Structure 1
């Protein structure tokens, strides 16, 4: 009696684990297929990295720095 229940539990566990593994494997293949299709028909346009780095490396503008400095000065005077 107990052996039959353990055997049935092991079978159910094995069937469940195989089903989950198969679903996840199918999910990975579908996502890779969709990724390949999207890259083929809708390619991502790349920009020149040097232009992007030069424009982003200038830092905050002097007006922003002045506003932050003024706010810090006013905050310190209130305390």
Structure 2
């Protein structure tokens, strides 16, 4: 009796695993087909190289930002 139930459970498990594996294979195949068809009928246009905006000569932090940070630290330390 127990052996029959185990055999039936193994059969159902095998059928379920085959069904899931088949579904996943079909899903991958359909996604690849969709990707190929979209790339074929709607190609991506290659953008022109964008000229890089050069930063100013001084790559450091602006003096206004340094002053604001210093004032914030000073105020925080006075509150402590």
So what's the TM-score if we normalise by structure 1?
0.72
Q: Which runs of 5+ in 1 are unaligned?
A: none
RMSD: 2.4
So what's the TM-score if we normalise by structure 2?
0.71
- Count, aligned residues: 72
Q: Which has the higher helix share?
A: 1
Match of 1:75 in 2: 72
Residue 75 to residue 19, structure 1, CA distance change in 2 (3 Å): same
Q: Deviations over 1:57-78 (max 9, x none)?
A: x358x8xx54644542332232
Structure with greater Cα Rg? 2
